[in-house]
């Protein structure tokens, strides 16, 4: 039995690593393997090889000081062309069966940029539009990547930037639920007078949708750019394209919401049709986009960025600012200050929980203490899970200040 070839890339420059690694990979025959050792998380390399499509990748060791991968060649470049012909035939179907979609995922692992261009021309000649091609391929691309990230999923707490982004996603999803209900009720109306409640609610729904643009901008100009520094480009390119499509429809829906105030019933049917179409699109596609960001883009960042880079990301996000979902002229709930330093120990928990129960959604309980309030944090985890965000403004040694926000 031939011993597995091992390549130690620790301590080499980026150029030296690439020369040694890809030189060794070029020499591998189908079915042959090589073991690679590095001193950092190789997720960008894994991503590149997965979508280059010629290798199966297995983690042998995962940090913290050393990572080890086994790379097995599964296909030669010439073999890709035959596999892509099968993918072309499958994509010609109106809907892929579950089994067909699973097969497409396997075939897509052997797809790279040059062969994608060849494939697009093949499909266009057979009557499939470029938009349909991109839609099919990108969704399956992302599914493959999501599966590879799921096994090493990382969870974070406030005030981590990813936690903030996902918290904003929850507000957006709640608003989409409202939009979905509004659209469903609107179907049964035949005049602006009959749809009075829906017409009155639509501007608020579209205002929140447009307020979320700050979220998308922060993702593009901070998270996406930092991912590019690690050699990861394709997933965020897909997300940026989504942002453009979604933004245009959000703006159009906002214009329709405004126009309804001065329109006559003679245009109601056309107005209703367009609002329903836009509402259904946003409800479906924006929710899907959020799912991809939460489970792919953010997980990729969490598995690649180190603590120092996350501190830089947090500073950049703070400078850009966050979504203001409250309406103009509507004050954000003010913080309730509680200084517990002079309160007897046995009375503290009761006072804190009483103040918490009276706090409105979005409000902040700002708690000052002369000892670390970790037991209180555990109490909130046990009784208020999913309904609070906890962050420290000051951590000892003589004074602790915790900000607890109610969702």
CATH number at 67 reads 3.30.110.40
Same domain? 228 vs 116: no
Quote the pLDDT of residue 222: 93
| Residue at 329 is within a domain | no
Strands 336-339 and 364-369: parallel
Q: What is the DSSP letter of 140?
A: H
Residue 395 binned pLDDT confidence (cut-offs 50, 70, 90): confident
Q: Looking at per-residue confidence, does 83 or 253 come out higher?
A: 253
The upper half-sphere exposure of residue 113, i.e. CA atoms within 13 Å in the direction of its Cβ, equals 4
Average of per-residue pLDDT values in the chain: 78
Retrieve residue 391's tokens. Answer: 């962050």
Same domain? 270 vs 354: no
Q: What is the pLDDT of residues 252-300, one digit of tens each?
A: 999 999 888 777 888 999 999 999 999 999 998 898 888 888 877 888 8
Same domain? 24 vs 90: no
Quote the pLDDT of residue 310: 93
| Residue at 35 is within a domain | yes
pLDDT at 47 over 80: no
Q: What is the pLDDT of residues 109-143, one digit of tens each?
A: 544 444 544 555 555 566 656 555 555 555 555 55
What does each C-alpha distance from 155 to 12, 224, 298 come to in angstroms? 32, 19, 10
pLDDT at 331 over 50: no
Domain count, the chain: 4
Quote the pLDDT of residue 275: 94
| Residue at 238 is within a domain | yes
Q: What is the pLDDT of residues 138-181, one digit of tens each?
A: 555 555 555 555 666 788 887 889 988 988 888 898 889 899 99
Residue 71 binned pLDDT confidence (cut-offs 50, 70, 90): confident
Domain boundary residue among 320, 354, 380?
A: 320
pLDDT at 334 over 50: yes
The mean pLDDT value for 380-390 works out to 81
- For every residue of 372-399, DSSP letters joined together read --HHHHHHHHHHSTTSEEEEEEEE-SS-
The mean pLDDT value for 325-353 works out to 73
pLDDT at 85 over 60: no
Same domain? 180 vs 299: yes
CB atoms within 10 A of CB 197: 12
Give the alpha-carbon dihedral of 11, 17, 19, 22, to 10 degrees: 140
Same domain? 135 vs 280: no
The mean pLDDT value for 209-237 works out to 86
Q: By the 8 A CB rule, do 210 and 251 touch? A: yes
| Residue at 156 is within a domain | no
CATH for 293: 1.20.120.520
Same domain? 66 vs 131: no
Residue 87 binned pLDDT confidence (cut-offs 50, 70, 90): low
Same domain? 302 vs 361: no
Quote the pLDDT of residue 113: 42
Q: Which residues constitute the domain of residue 127?
A: 78-150
| Residue at 340 is within a domain | yes
Same domain? 12 vs 107: no
Q: What is the DSSP letter of 64?
A: S
Same domain? 169 vs 270: yes
| Residue at 373 is within a domain | yes
* Percent above pLDDT 70 for the chain: 75
Domain boundary residue among 38, 73, 108?
A: 73
| Residue at 398 is within a domain | yes
Q: Looking at per-residue confidence, does 32 or 111 come out higher?
A: 32
Residue 96 binned pLDDT confidence (cut-offs 50, 70, 90): low
Closest CA to 253 of 186, 205, 214, 289: 205
Burial level of 130, CB count in 10 A (0-12/13-18/19+)? exposed
- For every residue of 288-353, DSSP letters joined together read HHHHHIIIIIHHHHHHH--HHHHHHHHHHHHHH-----SPTTPPPPPPEEEE-TTS-HHHHHHHHH
Domain boundary residue among 52, 73, 94?
A: 73
- 18-22, 178-182, 302-306: which range is least confident on average? 18-22
Same domain? 131 vs 167: no
Residue 329 binned pLDDT confidence (cut-offs 50, 70, 90): very low
Quote the pLDDT of residue 52: 55
Same domain? 218 vs 343: no
Quote the pLDDT of residue 380: 85
The mean pLDDT value for 87-105 works out to 58
Same domain? 184 vs 204: yes
| Residue at 262 is within a domain | yes
């Amino acid at each position: 039995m031939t011993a597995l070839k091992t390549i130690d890339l620790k301590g080499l420059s980026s150029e030296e690593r690439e020369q040694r690694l890809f030189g060794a990979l070029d020499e591998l025959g189908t079915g042959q393997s090589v073991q690679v050792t590095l001193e950092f998380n190789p997720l960008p390399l894994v991503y590149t090889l997965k979508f280059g499509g010629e290798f199966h990748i297995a983690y042998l060791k995962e940090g913290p000081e050393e990572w080890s991968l086994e790379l097995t060649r599964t296909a030669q470049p010439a073999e890709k062309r035959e596999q892509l012909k099968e993918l072309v035939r499958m994509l010609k179907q109106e809907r892929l069966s579950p089994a067909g979609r699973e097969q497409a995922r396997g075939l897509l692992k052997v797809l790279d940029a040059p062969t994608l261009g060849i494939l697009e021309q093949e499909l266009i000649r057979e009557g499939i539009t470029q938009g349909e091609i991109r839609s099919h391929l990108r969704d399956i691309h992302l599914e493959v990547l999501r599966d590879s990230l799921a096994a090493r999923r990382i969870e974070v707490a406030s005030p981590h930037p990813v936690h903030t982004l996902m918290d904003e996603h929850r507000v957006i999803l709640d608003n989409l639920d409202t939009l979905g209900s509004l659209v469903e009720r609107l179907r049964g109306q035949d005049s602006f007078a009959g749809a009075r409640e829906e017409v009155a609610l639509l501007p608020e729904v579209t205002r929140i949708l447009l307020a979320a643009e700050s979220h998308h901008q922060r993702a593009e100009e901070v998270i996406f750019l930092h991912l590019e520094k690690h050699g990861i480009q394709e997933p965020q390119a897909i997300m940026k394209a989504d942002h453009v499509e979604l933004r245009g429809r959000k703006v159009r829906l906002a214009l329709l919401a405004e126009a309804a105030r001065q329109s006559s019933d003679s245009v109601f049917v056309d107005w209703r049709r367009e609002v329903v179409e836009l509402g259904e699109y946003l409800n479906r596609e924006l929710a899907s986009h959020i799912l991809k960001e939460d489970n792919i883009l953010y997980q990729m960042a969490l598995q690649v960025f180190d603590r120092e880079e996350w501190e830089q990301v947090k500073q950049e996000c703070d400078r850009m600012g966050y979504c203001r979902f409250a309406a103009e002229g509507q004050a954000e709930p003010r913080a309730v200050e509680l200084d517990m330093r002079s309160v007897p120990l046995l009375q503290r928990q009761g006072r804190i929980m009483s103040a918490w129960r009276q706090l409105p959604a979005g409000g902040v309980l700002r708690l000052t203490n002369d000892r670390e309030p970790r037991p209180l944090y555990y109490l909130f985890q046990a009784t208020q899970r999913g309904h609070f965000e906890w962050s420290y403004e000051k951590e000892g040694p003589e004074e602790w200040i915790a900000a607890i926000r109610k969702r």
